[in-house]
Amino acid sequence: MASAITTLDDITALIKEPATIDIDCACVDKGIDNYHVDVEISATFTLRVKESVEKNLKSLVAGRSLSSGNSETMIEVRDAYTDLMKVTMHRSKTDLSADQIQVLQFAIVKFVIQEIRDALDRHGEQLEETLAQQQFAGSRSLLATQEKLAWYRKHNSEFVYRLTRLFLRQLQREENNHLKALREQILGNFNDAANVLYNPLLFSRGPTDPLLLLDYYAVWPGIGSEFGGLNGALESVIENHFGSHPFTPLKTTAKLGSVQSEVYDELGGLFAAQTIMGSSEDQQEHVREEFGWLEHPGNMRLLFDEKLHERHRDQEGLGFSERRSLKGVIKKLQKIAQELKKSLGDTKSVKLVLVSYVLREKLTQPDLDQIDVEDALALVSGNGSVDDIIELTVEGAASLQTKLAECVS
């Protein structure tokens, strides 16, 4: 039988430390530049991904829905991925070690992301070439092509996000449904592999993408420039009240020399995250990432979620003095929560953040095709007019208008 929770120490004892990620890259041979690792990926898998990326990109540009996870196209991609990973993992019995496979598997993620971005770049270049040819020939279609190119550039980040999310989610689905047991049996020293390989942060070009924030975090106004100060204020409050549970600050302030700084960042993620996380250190052969307890979302719920507090109050077998003590603990935690809220900034900014949580449940992809995330946030928080943001003559606009009005109320 679990012990009763009656004191602050009882609650903080439940705080969990996220697992450390540790990969030794010295186990693989480097390529001709002595930095990259040359990896050959299954021809069947690469072909299935290329075909599916092209098909889904055409759907996006045409305003149609992406392939569902159970469509023939995506089933072929998942099956090819499963075959590829099973063969690779079983090679641990012949010519590859488990440590080598741990490193080589990242090539699959890089290939998928790069293929999506390359396909989008190629489509943009084709539009630009068409525009140049029409300008030279004085074509009547010039204006339409200019509008199409402007629209494509505006939505490019959205297309990157939606396509990458589609594919990486499918691969993670396969990991969880068909490869988990085999992975634990052969590569058991990296239990969080699927969560690392297919982390939502990989869906976009940078961690401040509005769609990424709406789906998985919260949209904060001016996050690119203001998040560092905001997060520092939150960490300061937590450190003052929970000093017995030290943590590593999210943003590193270490001044790295040219030798220490990251050399290769081909997908741009490390550079894009510098304003939030600080500079990335070149760890060379041994890649290690440690996380503070604040980076585990369950810990904040543990400390400040009122529903969890109610469960503690409803525990069976508590005496009068224990209930009174617990009531004082909960009251203290609620005061700390209020202090955290004040550190977030003015009421208007906090309201925008809360609105983003509401919109996450309300807005569908067809809604987001009609309105930008930032415009929806501004509208629901009381800034802007529906008539200025939504084209009311478009199909589905009336339904979207009703949803946003409900959020406002």
Q: Return d(Cα 407, Cα 409) in angstroms, integer.
A: 5
pLDDT digits (tens, 9 = 90+) for 115-129: 999 999 999 999 999
Tally Cβ neighbours within 10 Å of residue 17: 14
Average the pLDDT over each of 40-49, 90-99, 311-320, 400-409 and give the range with the smallest value.
400-409
pLDDT band at 290 (very low <50, low <70, confident <90, very high): confident
Instruction: List, as one string, the DSSP characters of 132-163.
Output: HHHHHHT-TTHHHHHHHHHHHHHTHHHHHHHH
Q: What is the pLDDT of residue 1?
A: 38
In this prediction, residues 283-292 reach a mean pLDDT of: 84
Would you state the structure tokens that stand for residue 407, as one six-digit string?
A: 């959020």
pLDDT digits (tens, 9 = 90+) for 242-275: 988 998 888 887 776 665 655 577 778 888 888 7
Q: What is the pTM of this model?
A: 0.86
Inform me whether the pLDDT recorded for 156 exceeds 90: yes
Would you state the structure tokens that stand for residue 406, as one six-digit string?
A: 């409900």
**Residues pairing with 281 in the sheet:** 261
Q: Return d(Cα 174, Cα 194) in angstroms, integer.
A: 10
